[in-house]
Structure 1
């Protein structure tokens, strides 16, 4: 998917920032036009789709995903609040991309593009399996996510579970990513990776959740708040229900993870093309 690219770096409108400061407008109240002005984003660059990659390796994945796009506009921001965020073209489809880690970053980027009017957000990244039948490298497509993190309560305070857009879930077909296996079901989103113990893993598994991640519930909650369609496609990194965790190394599993991540990427761009071609 690599391609030559043109790249433009955005800048911040300092005068506009001062003007908004004098109005005592807080971040929650900023409008579409104010964000466009603040970040110097041309209105015709507002993307149709936003792709988030959940990762601690923010810049590594930003560089990787950048190669999929042409006509790249790197979003600048006051005080560096938004980093590793771009808007680019994929086959003439305008797509936003950001590397995010955890609920805080996922909420901020989804909020920004929700205000701007982006209509679909796709969460990607990795997860831990909570079902013995799910292996490293398999794909999990979340039908819903439990809000076990902290950010979703500020957008949907009455909800503990947030659903994906089921019409998009139905488009995720095994034939698109063969031979990688796909598992569809509810997942749990946490915000404390190192606080996952045996008791938590067993409880989540017994409650019927098939995987655990750190972004999906947040992304879904903010997306629902702004009326965006939403999908989460994650490759399985390990299976905590079998005692596996992120610090363990396994050459065979690493190969499966790489295949699973590539299958996620291929499926995401297939979904984007289908969405743009009249299937909003």
Structure 2
């Protein structure tokens, strides 16, 4: 049987997760620095276990089951997203960093994608059209939560692209003309998978690359910008955990 046709029981058997148990949320992070990010994020959780598939973890946050995975790029991001949403996890949270095409979005601002142009090379296989959309209610919730923590945010028209390297100045100029303000490599694929399995999705991406100015991750940041980036990344994960807890306490209405 092809993987897209597997049942949820297949994944439960493979991971050893009981039928009456599924994490309340899956938090995904797209980063090269997988080892450091994983260690930092799992420090927040209790009773952490690595599941049968590598880099997929479960732990407890205030008694709530939460899953975490560092997955870089859309082809990898769909794998844990597919598994956990098919198991019944109905909240998918993408975090990480992004490039910005908006001169008003300085380093440390958190982009909150609303419309996501799905040019990642994977989303269409899950039924996505040209664009997918994150959950409007979740976007509003995390926007308010970030503001309470003193972290600036910006709702964006967003692009998910297959490669960090295959981006030219000419491409960035065209994207800016389309009204695209932020770019990553995972969000639209995560949303497309969530749509297929009925999970709600939200993305919080801290601005790092300022593509309008020709600055990429390979250019050193001034010390104060680096501190803004680190602080925003920390708060974003804390807001993700808060969101998971709130969503479990106040689930959305059915139908």
* Deviations 1:134-153, CA, capped at 9 Å, x for gaps: 00111111112111111101
The reply to whether residue 258 of structure 1 matches residue 230 of structure 2 is: yes
Is the Cα–Cα contact under 8 Å of residues 45 and 87 in structure 1 kept in the other structure?
Answer: no
Structure 1 partner of 2:49:
73
Q: Distance in 2 between matches of 1:229 and 1:102?
A: 20
**SS of residue matched to 1:43:** coil
**SS of residue matched to 1:193:** coil
Structure 2 partner of 1:132:
103
Q: What's the offset of the Cα at 1:44?
A: 4.1
Query: What TM-score, normalized to structure 2?
Result: 0.94
Is the Cα–Cα contact under 8 Å of residues 145 and 217 in structure 1 kept in the other structure?
Answer: yes
Aligned pairs (5 A) from 1:1-280: 25-76=1-52, 82-157=53-128, 159-172=129-142, 173=144, 174-178=146-150, 180-250=151-221, 251-280=223-252
Unaligned 5+ segments in structure 1 are: 1-24, 77-81
Q: Distance in 1 between matches of 2:118 and 2:174?
A: 15
Q: What's the offset of the Cα at 1:73?
A: 2.5
Q: Distance in 2 between matches of 1:192 and 1:111?
A: 21
**SS of residue matched to 1:33:** helix
Is the Cα–Cα contact under 8 Å of residues 41 and 237 in structure 2 kept in the other structure?
Answer: no
Is the Cα–Cα contact under 8 Å of residues 59 and 84 in structure 1 kept in the other structure?
Answer: no
Is the Cα–Cα contact under 8 Å of residues 159 and 183 in structure 2 kept in the other structure?
Answer: yes
Q: Distance in 2 between matches of 1:266 and 1:63?
A: 15
**SS of residue matched to 1:106:** helix
Unaligned 5+ segments in structure 2 are: none
Q: What's the offset of the Cα at 1:177?
A: 2.5
Q: What's the offset of the Cα at 1:236?
A: 0.7
Q: Distance in 1 between matches of 2:78 and 2:90?
A: 15
Q: Which has the larger radius of gyration?
A: 1
Q: What's the offset of the Cα at 1:92?
A: 1.1
Figure out how many residues of one structure are paired with residues of the other and give that number.
Answer: 249
**SS of residue matched to 1:194:** coil
Q: Distance in 2 between matches of 1:27 and 1:124?
A: 26
**SS of residue matched to 2:140:** helix
Q: Once superposed, which parts of structure 1, at least 4 consecutive aligned residues long, lie more than 3 Å away? A: none
Q: Distance in 1 between matches of 2:235 and 2:213?
A: 24
